[in-house]
Amino acid sequence: MNIKIQQIIMVSLASFTALSAVAGNVSLGSILAPVNSVVLAKAATSQIHTVKSSPVVERKLKVDWLRLDDVLARLEYLLSADLSENSTVSLASRSRWDAVKINEATIWDIELHTPFAPDSRGRWYPSINLLLDGEVISKHRLTIDVALFRKVWMVEQRINRGVALDTELLKPVVRDIFSERGLTIPTSEDLSGYELDRSVARGALLAWDDLRQQPHVRRNALVDVLAQSGSITVRMRGRCMEDGVVGELVTIRNVDTNREFSAQVASTGTVRFEL
């Protein structure tokens, strides 16, 4: 409100005070009506002026930086789709990567051209393409250290050689399989039909190298020998000189003549050979 309007208000208020002493029916609104008209007119003019003079500001797209950590996170997501339910992958890399500047609205992704097959140290060398809005903008070869966490079997008490496996003797634990010796055994594997090929200490992770299939014929055990010649089959007894599973050739000794020969394991306690 400028000085002129203030002066009008002050004069109007003085007039209102004088008139109020003479006649009590004079209202303040009737005196200030001319002033209100001036104020409203000024306000309307100001609003119209403000709207007309407001510049149109174009919204600028925010920018972001695509870093190696983003690429590794995307690779972890892509790999997780093919992993078993009890497996989790974590990737780390010291490969050189220059951060890529992209707009917030840009859609980025990667194309993987290398099978997921880390070496025994957990080292993987994938080739990837970087895509922005569906177009390849660069190609990369990365060196990645893989941690593959999996639920595997740990031995809860010492198990001696020759003992058939029983999950009551084992405990499931989560470990990075590439940081452990040997090929540890996931809890998802069926261990029926296996036994210890060597003794394993309490607290050790069970590995495939520790196991063997339970033999269908055992060393020094008596077995049935089926000797076949065409349609004729002769059954006799023999002593097995070594362990063997179905399909394997083992050495058999004739208990009557002590003559040794080779026969194929046919089933539990039974071998077969052709005459």
Judged against a pLDDT cut of 60, whether residue 92 lies above it is answered with yes
Tell me the pLDDT tens digit for each residue of 115-125.
999 998 899 99
For 124, counting Cβ atoms within 10 Å of its Cβ (0-12 exposed, 13-18 middle, 19+ buried), the class is buried
3-state helix, strand, coil in the chain (%, to 5): 25, 40, 35
Tell me the pLDDT tens digit for each residue of 193-250.
899 999 999 999 999 999 999 999 999 999 999 998 888 889 999 999 999 999 999 9
CATH architecture of 222-274: Roll (2.30)
Selection from 83, 97, 132 nearest residue 111 by Cα = 132
Task: Please tell me the distance from the alpha carbon of residue 239 to that of residue 223, in angstroms, as a whole number.
Answer: 6
In this prediction, residue 45 carries a pLDDT of: 39
Residues 253 and 262 sit within 8 Å (Cβ to Cβ): no
- Annotated domain spans of the chain: 3-53, 63-147, 152-212, 222-274
Residues 18 and 31 sit within 8 Å (Cβ to Cβ): no
Judged against a pLDDT cut of 90, whether residue 86 lies above it is answered with no
Task: Please tell me the distance from the alpha carbon of residue 113 to that of residue 182, in angstroms, as a whole number.
Answer: 28
Predicted TM-score of the model (pTM): 0.58
* C-alpha radius of gyration, the chain, whole number: 45
Over residues 35-55, the mean pLDDT reads: 36
Task: Please tell me the distance from the alpha carbon of residue 103 to that of residue 9, in angstroms, as a whole number.
Answer: 58
Tell me the pLDDT tens digit for each residue of 151-173.
999 999 999 999 998 888 999 99
Residues 110 and 92 sit within 8 Å (Cβ to Cβ): no
Residues 253 and 259 sit within 8 Å (Cβ to Cβ): yes
In this prediction, residue 182 carries a pLDDT of: 78
Choice between 273 and 54, residue whose per-residue pLDDT is larger: 273
152-212 is a CATH 3.40.50.1370 domain: no
